[in-house]
Amino acid sequence: MPYKVLIVDDSTFFRRRLKEILARDPDLQVVGEAKNGKEAIEQARILDPDVVTMDVEMPVMDGISAVKSLMASSPVPILMFSSLTHEGAQATLDAMEAGALDFLPKKFEDIARDRKEAIELLQQRVKAIAKRKSFSRTGIQATGRPRFAERVAQGKPPPPPAAKPVFMRSASARNQYQVLAIGTSTGGPAALQKLLCALPATFPYPIVLVQHMPGTFTSAFAERLNRLCHINVYEAQGGEILKPGVAYLAPGGKQMLVEGNKHAARLRITDTPKDRAMPYKPSVDLTFESVASVFGGQVLGVILTGMGADGREGCRKLKEHGAKIWSQDEHSCVVYGMPQAVANAGLSDAVYSIDEFADNILNEMRG
């Protein structure tokens, strides 16, 4: 049975093109259309879709309000479409905080010109998050969206990050670890927010973060994390010396590399090397490989939810140096792609749900 799709957008052209593109995939069936959030809620109740594609800016009821309402009444996997502006990024992150699982930049040119890469990406993303509904129906609770989304849907503010005890680094941990490295993609914003918000301000190691996102989105996402978390979170600019208690988010459209030595490691932001064919900008593989070259085995590497296999080879390089690798479990992933690739390659030393990562990181890195 193909996955049922509901398309929500106020643009007649965009709805028509999405329908044509999704209809090419035998695993997808467009069962309905809506031109605003109010119609989307009504159509979702009648059609019971497996996935909804949702525009952010619409008349009558905007996409964020529609997401909140759907999550409160009839939860369904939602893929947001958003403009590549800072404001569009903020709105999309608001929608994901409300319960949407993933997003794609709204590029009319790619849709109009029928670019093969854009078409395949759209079809893959829709199918990937549609599986979450099927997965949850097996009796396993889907945890792709953060718990506080339920509070938002009810008109309540998200709870503040829970206070954590002061983190004291033991001698054994000081010898074993120097950095925490985290890579993620689809479903990553909610997963990273949950994990990082649980770390105390006294976390004594630098953190390097790679999240597959466009440039305007990584900037907005870093700002949001910095407001919510006890630790400091910044979009990396290049030239920074890694400092304890600071998380550095790789900028979208670029590669983030760690250089120098473990006593004075610094970041370099660059384009993808000409001798490397990397589909992702930023790439978890490239960042993790550079971390391995500087810190050797004194790294805890974490792979969270995401499509594809980015991070597997970077984890392999870290393991060759003696580093420890953890991956997210299937039940709590929005898309069990990247963690599965790492686990299937025999590179994962432990598998945790997203709710378990922070406490286990604190316990592990204490020594």
Which string of DSSP letters, residue by residue, matches 102-152? EEEE--HHHHHHT-HHHHHHHHHHHHHHHHHHHHHTTTPPP--S-THHHHH
Are residues 108 and 43 part of one domain? yes
Are residues 286 and 238 part of one domain? yes
- Of 69, 82, 185, 283, the catalytic one is 185
Say if pTM beats, i.e. exceeds, 0.85. Answer: yes
As a whole number of angstroms, the longest Cα–Cα distance in the chain is: 63
Within a domain: 177:
yes
pLDDT in tens, 311-320: 999 999 999 9
Residue found under tokens 């006294």? 202
CA atoms of 175 and 290, how far apart (whole Å): 20
Are residues 337 and 275 part of one domain? yes
Mean pLDDT of 138-143: 34
In this structure, of 135-139, 195-199, 296-300, the range with the lowest mean pLDDT score is 135-139
**What is the per-residue pLDDT for 302?**
98
DSSP 14: H
Which residue range forms the structural domain that includes residue 326? Answer: 171-366
- Report the number of distinct structural domains present in the chain: 2
Let me know if 9 is a catalytic residue: no
Chain mean pLDDT for the chain: 88
Are residues 301 and 200 part of one domain? yes
Let me know if 331 is a catalytic residue: no
**What is the per-residue pLDDT for 149?**
42
112: confidence class by pLDDT, cuts 50, 70, 90: low
Q: Is the pLDDT of residue 169 over 70?
A: no
Let me know if 310 is a catalytic residue: yes
CB 56 within 8 A of CB 95: yes
- Of 110, 212, 290, 329, the catalytic one is 212
pLDDT in tens, 45-66: 999 999 999 999 999 999 999 9
pLDDT in tens, 49-108: 999 999 999 999 999 999 999 999 989 999 999 887 888 899 999 999 999 999 998 876
> 354: domain CATH number?
3.40.50.180
**What is the per-residue pLDDT for 152?**
41
Total length of the chain: 367
- Of 9, 10, 110, 310, the catalytic one is 310
